[in-house]
Amino acid sequence: MADEKLDLLLGTLDLLILKTLALESSHGWGIAQRIQEISNDALRINQGSLYPALQKLEREGWISRGEGLAENNRRVSVYSLTASGRRQLARRVETWNKFSDAVGLILQAT
């Protein structure tokens, strides 16, 4: 599986970003790195997908953006989960679990 690239289902990137920010606030590159790390390198998020998703989540009010410093003392935008984002994350996790369970039932059918 390490050699296999996994494509994200529509909406899954939003879920992964929300969950990552629930763990800790971070800048964009840090979010992508954390997703890659937690997934054991199975998921790699490119900037062309990440930043539009962050902008959308910010417009929805699910994340907020502030200023911070990266490890190299460069100014970066730091994203945090809002209270509304926490509620949205809980809803999306519930939906994901139902979807995953349903797919699992179909794949196990004999």
The model's pLDDT over 39-83, given as tens digits with 9 standing for 90+, comes to 999 999 988 999 999 999 999 999 999 998 877 888 999 999 999
* Count of beta carbons in the 10 Å neighbourhood of residue 17: 28
Min mean pLDDT across 4-8, 15-19, 20-24 is at 4-8
pLDDT score for 73: 85
- The answer to whether the beta carbons of residues 4 and 53 sit under 8 Å apart is no
**pLDDT in the model for residue 11:** 78
Q: How big is the chain by its Cα radius of gyration, in Å? A: 15
Degrees to nearest 5, angle at CA 100 with 95 and 102 = 95
| pLDDT greater than 50 at residue 89 | yes
* CATH architecture, domain 12-108: Orthogonal Bundle (1.10)
Kindly list the domain boundaries of the chain, sorted by start residue. 12-108
Question: Residue 10 has what pLDDT?
Answer: 62
